[in-house]
Structure 1
Amino acid sequence: MKIQAIETIQLPHLNNILWVQVHTDEGIVGLGETFRGANAVAAYIHSDIAPLLIGQNPLEIDRISSLLLSPYVGFRSSGVEIRAASAIDVALWDIFGKAVNQPIHQLLGGLSRPSIRTYNTCAGYTYNKSGARRYIGDCDDAKEGPYEDQLAFHRDAGALAESLLSEGITAMKIWPFDPFAVANGGNFIHATDLDKALLPFRQIRDAVGDKMEVMVELHSMWDLTSALAIARGLREFNPFWAEDPIKMVNPQSLAIYARQSGIPVCASETLATRSQFLDVLKADATDYVMLDVSWCGGLSEAKKIGTMAETFQRPVAPHDCTGPVVFAASIHLSLNLPNAIYQESVRAYYTSWYRDLVTVMPRIKNGEIYPFEGAGLGLELSDFVLDHPEVIRRTTRTS
C-alpha cells in the first residue's frame, strides 16, 4: 500500500478546524483532524509533509511519526509542525484499522474497560469557534439550545450541576477566573474579584454537595503568585483538579504550585511530545496528565505519553474541546489506556454540531462513553462537510 494523495478540508464557518484525508492506492482513505491555526497547518501539510509522504507505506506509522515529529525547527512545541504531524498520524491509524477491519482501540492493545467516564466541559455551542467569545459577560444572552453551559455556570452553576446530574454526568469543568486574568494581565486578582469567581463553586456545593466533581480550568493565564492566591480560595470547595494554573514553560514553577496549592494539578493540553511531559513528570509537577491527541503528536505519541505517565503512577485524561474526529480518536485512546481516568466531552458539541460533521457519534449514557464499533476511527466526514457549498478542499497528489 502506498500514499497516493493528501487532502485538506476546511469550512469557513468552522475555520479553527482542519481535516486531513490521506488517500492510498488501494482505495483506503484515512481521516485526521487538528485545531487552531488551520490555514497555517494546511499550508505546511501541502508544502512540506505531502511531498515527503506521497509514495510511502502508510502502515509504517512509527517511522512516519518519528520523521514528522523531528523537523529541524518546531519539534519542541505544539505549533504548526506538530499539529500537522498529529492530524496525519490519526489518519494513518484510521487507515491501519480499515486495512485490518479493526477499531483503533483494538490496535492500541484492546479495551481496558467497557466504557470511560466523562466530565462535561461547560462550554456553549459556539465556544472555541473562530470569532466566538471565550469569556461571558453579564450582557451575553445568545442562546442556541438547551446546553448553553458556559452561560449557565456564570448565571447559576448550582442549577447547571443539577442538570448534569440528571443525565448521569457526575463531573464538570468551569473557568470563572478567566475574565479577571484578561482584565488584569494574570498577575493580580483582587479579593473582591476572587470572591466573585468563587461564587459558582459555592452554588454547586450548596445545590448538590459532593455529588459533583468540579474541575477548575485556569488556561495558563496566571503567574505563580496569583495562581496560589486563587488556590487558597478554592481549597474549601475541594476541586478535583486545577488545570494549567500557570504557563507550561517552567516545570519547577509548576512543581512549586503543586506543593503549595493544596489542590491536585492537571497538566497539560498545551504540551507536545514525550520529552515535554517527561520534564513535568520528573519535576513531580502534576497529579493528572492531560494530553491533546491533535496537539501532542497524534495517537502514536499520545499512547507513548500515556504509558510513560503510567510508569510515574499518574492517571491520564485526554483533552477534547475541538472537533469530532479528535473526540473519536481520544475515545479510542482513553478506552485503551489502563491509567485513563476521564474522557473530556462537551455536551453542547456532541448533541449538536458534531453530528453535522461526521457520520457517527459514540454512545454516551449516564456519564459513560462507549466504544465505536466500526473499523479505524469508526466514522467519516459527512456529506454536509464534503458537499458544503463553501468547503475548501485542497489536494497534493502523485504527479
Structure 2
Amino acid sequence: MKITAIRTFRAEEFSNLLWVHVHTDAGITGLGETFYGAAAVEAHIHDTLASRLVGKDPLQIEALHREMLNLPMAQASTGVEHRACSAIDIALWDIFGKLCGQPVHQMLGGLCHDRLRIYNTCAGTRYVRTNRIRPVDTWNLDGQDGPHEDLDAFMSRAGDLAQDLLSNGIGAMKIWPFDPAALANKGMHITRDELKAAIRPFELIREAVGDKMQIMVELHSLWNLPMAKKIARWLEPFEPTWYEDPIRMTNAQVLAEFAASTDVWTCASETLGTRFAYKEFLDRDACHVVMADLCWTGGLTEGRKIAAMADLYHRPFAPHDCIGPVGFAAAVHMSFSQPNTLIQESVRAFYDGWYRELVTDVPQIADGHVQPMEGPGLGTELLPNFFERSDLSTRLTEAE
C-alpha cells in the first residue's frame, strides 16, 4: 500500500480546525485533525511534509512519525510541525484500523476499560470558534443558543450547573473563573472583588451539591508562581481534584515548587509537546496527572508513549480534549487502550452541539461515562454535506 495524496480542509466558520485526508492506492482514506493556526499547519503539510510522505507505506507509522519530526525546528513543542504531524499520524492509525477492520483502540493494544468516566469541561457553544485563542476573548458569550451554555452557567449559576450535570450522571466538572482577573492584571495580582467573583462558583457548587461533584480547576498558564500558590491555598477548602497549568510550562523546577506547595494534585499539560518534555517534569515531581493533547503533541504514536511514560512514574493519564470531533474520537481510543487512564475530558456543548454538524459519529456518553467506539479505524468520518460547505477551502498534494 502506498500514500497517493494528502488533502487538507478548512472551514471559515471553524477557522482554527484543520482536517486531513490521507489517500492510498488501496482505496482507503485516513482522517486526521488538528487545531489552531490551521493555515500555517496546512502550509507545512503541503510544502514540507507531503513530499516526504507521498509514495510511502502508510502502515509504517512509527517510521513516518519520525520522518515528520526529523527536522531541525521540530523539537519538543506543540508548534506547527507537531500539529501537522499529529493530524497525519491520526489519519495513519485510521487507515491501519480500516485495513484490519478493527477500531483504533484495538490496534493500540485493545481495551483496558469497559467504560471510562468523563468530566465536563464547562465551555459554551461558541467557545474557541474564532481565531482569537486567548482567555476571556475566546469565551464568545454573545448570542448563546446551544443546548449547554455551561461557561456562562459556571460564571453566574454554578450551583444549578452542578446539579444539572449530576442529574445526567456527570460527577466531575472543569471551570476557570480566575481567567478574567488573570487577563486584567497580567497574572501578577488579583483585587479583593475579583477574588470574590472567582471564588463564588466554588462556593455555589459546594452549597448546592456538597462533595458529590469533583471540581477540576483550569488556570490556563496565566499566573506567576507566587500568585498561583496563593490561589491554590484559597481554593484548598473546596477540595478541588486538580490544578491544571497554573503557570507557563517553561520551567519544570518552578512547577515542582508549586506542586509541593499544595495537597491538591497538579495536572500538566496540554501545552507540552513530545515525551521528552514530559520526562523533565516527571523527573522533578512537577505533576501528578499527565495530560496530553493528541492533536498537538504528535498524534496517537506520541500519545501512547507519553501515557506509558506516565505509567512508568506511577502517574495517571488524562487526555485533553477541548478542540474538534476527530481529535475527541482519537482521544477516546487512546484512553481506552491505556491502563493508567484516569478520566476522559469532554465538552457536552461540543459533542451534543457542533461536533454533529461535522462528523458522522461521536463517542457515546451516558451516565457520566464514555463508551468505546466500535467502527473500523476512528469510527467516524466527515459528513457528506461538509464537502458542500460554501466556506470550505481545500488543498491537495498528490503523486506526480
Q: Which of the five TM-score ranges fits, normalised by the shorter chain?
A: over 0.9
Q: Cα–Cα, structure 1 residues 12 and 36, in superposed 2: closer, same or farther, change >3 Å? A: same
Which residue of the partner structure matches residue 398 of structure 1? 399
Q: Could you tell me how far apart the structure 1 residues matched to 2:139 and 2:182 are?
A: 17
Q: Show CA shifts across 1:276-324 (max 9, x none).
A: 0001100100010000001111000000100110010000110000000
Alignment-derived partner of residue 22 in structure 1: 22
Match of 1:101 in 2: 101
Give, in angstroms, the shift of residue 189 of structure 1: 1.7
In the other structure, the counterpart of 1:149 is: 150
Q: Is the 8 A contact 2:125 2:349 kept in 1?
A: yes
Give the match for residue 176 of structure 2.
175
8 Å CA contact 1:147, 1:348 repeated in 2 = yes
Q: How does 1:70-149 map to 2 (within 5 A)?
A: 70-131=70-131, 134-135=135-136, 142-149=143-150
**CA deviation after TM superposition for structure 1 residue 74, in Å:** 2.7
State the partner residue of 1:361: 362
1:396 Cα deviation after fit: 0.3
**1:314 aligned onto 2:319:** no
Which residue is equivalent to 1:10? 10
CA distance in 1: counterparts of 2:140 and 2:82, whole angstroms:
38
Give me the whole-angstrom Cα distance separating, in 2, the residues matched to 1:37 and 1:131: 8
- Distance (Å, rounded) in 2 between the aligned partners of 1:333 and 1:103: 11
Could you tell me which residue of structure 1 aligns to residue 191 of structure 2?
A: 190
Q: How does 1:250-399 map to 2 (within 5 A)?
A: 250-399=251-400
- How much has 1:138 moved relative to structure 2? 12
Regions of 4+ moved over 6 Å = 136-139
Q: CA RMSD in A?
A: 1.5
CA positional deviation for 1:262: 2.9
Deviations 1:218-250 (A, max 9, x none): 000001011011111000000000000000000
Structure 1 residue matching 2:13: 3-state secondary structure: helix
Normalised by the size of structure 1, how large is the TM-score?
0.98
- Within 2, Cα distance between the matches of 1:193 and 1:155? 14
Identity of aligned residues (%): 51
- Could you say what secondary structure the match of 1:50 adopts? helix
After TM superposition, the structure 1 stretch with the greater mean CA deviation from structure 2, 368-377 or 126-135, is 126-135
**Contact kept in structure 1, 2:162 and 2:205, CA below 8 Å:** yes
2:126–2:144 contact (8 Å) kept in structure 1: no
Secondary structure of the 1:62 match is helix
Compute the displacement of 1:190 (Å). 2.5
Identify the residue that residue 36 of structure 2 maps to in structure 1: 36
Instruction: Measure the CA separation in 1 of the matches of 2:309 and 2:386.
Output: 37
CA shift, 1:69, in A, is 2.2
CA distance in structure 2 between the aligned counterparts of 1:380 and 1:137, rounded to whole angstroms: 27
Aligned length: 399
What amino acid is aligned across from residue 282 of structure 2 in structure 1? Answer: L
Partner of 2:237: 236
In the alignment, is the contact (CA less than 8 A) between 1:33 and 1:90 conserved in 2? yes
| Secondary structure of residue in 1 paired with 2:119 | strand
Asked whether the equivalents of residues 130 and 138 of structure 2 are also in contact (C-alpha less than 8 Å), the reply is no
Q: 2: distance between equivalents of 1:277 and 1:138?
A: 29
User: Whole-Å Cα distance in 2 between the matches of residues 137 and 152 of structure 1?
Assistant: 16
- Asked whether the 8 Å contact 1:136–1:151 carries over to 2, the reply is no
Q: Give the aligned residue type for 1:4.
A: T
Contact preservation (8 Å) 1:78, 1:296: yes
